[in-house]
Structure 1
Amino acid sequence: MTSHSLARDAYSRPDAPLRPARTVEYDLFARVTRRLTLAFRARAADFPAFAVALHDNDRLWRTLALDVADPGNALPAALRSRLFYLHEFTTLQTRRILQEGASAEVLIDINTAIMRGLRGDAGSGPGGGE
């Protein structure tokens, strides 16, 4: 399931109970990160699935970057800037993975840190839990 379809499902079901945006974002990061982790472990046996998982992760970060770049975004400017930087880093790292065989572990670590921040674990997210 792609990040686009996950988001569509989360927002389009009229019978679904309303959930806070942070919960929806956390769930999306958790699903994409889980798929990326499993695909990274099995990349030798199924590289196409790994490439799809990388693409879905990249799409998630591209969507997040568009959101934090919006002038109407209510997050503090410093946090928005850090998140946009992480988008740029994840894009470059994804290229390195596909072109040079670099490790995906750093992408998994970044996503996990974002999930901790969304969950509210103080001091665990990028920038020390702001």
Structure 2
Amino acid sequence: MNAIRQAQNAYGQTNQPIRTMRGTEYETVARITHRLKSAAAKEPFDIVELATAIHENRNLWALFATEVADNDNPLPKELRAGIFSLAEFTNSHSSKVLRSEASADALIEINTAIMRGLRDGGAAA
């Protein structure tokens, strides 16, 4: 392959759309929510798969909590507080799910609401 063809391939137009931060957040929440749904619906029950999905979801919500706790975060204070509260609930409820004291439905519903907000361009909390 000659140098011109290599340059065209490297710097030419791609078929991939440019991802926005909101789009990346949506894809991440969607991927984790899909894993939660899949693990929660699995018959027979697979605790390793569920624990892995919950761990990923907890990490996601820990990141959200860290971001909204930053004073430089541009979101309105009320929205930041709501997201932080959801992160706390998610962490607490996840423990109940892992102890078989609750279902993952609430975690899935919260993530779905966040995805709806990200998709619609509005605040989701």
TM-score (norm 1): 0.78
Q: Does 1:30 align with 2:30?
A: yes
Contact kept, 8 Å, 1:43 with 1:50, in 2: the verdict is no
Paired residue total: 111
Q: Provide the rounded CA distance (Å) in 1 between the counterparts of 2:45 and 2:60.
A: 25
**Identical-residue share of aligned pairs (%):** 43
Shift of 1:19: 1.6
Q: Which has the larger radius of gyration?
A: 2
Q: Provide the rounded CA distance (Å) in 2 between the counterparts of 1:122 and 1:24.
A: 15
Range moving further from structure 2, 35-44 or 15-24: 15-24
Match of 2:57 in 1: 57
TM-score (norm 2): 0.81
Match of 1:98 in 2: 98
Q: Provide the rounded CA distance (Å) in 1 between the counterparts of 2:120 and 2:55.
A: 27
Runs of 4+ with >6 A deviation: none
Matched position secondary structure for 2:19: coil
Report which structure shows greater RCO (CA 8 Å, sep ≥6).
Answer: 2
Show structure 1 runs of 5+ residues with no match.
1-14
Show structure 2 runs of 5+ residues with no match.
1-13
Q: Provide the rounded CA distance (Å) in 1 between the counterparts of 2:35 and 2:98.
A: 17
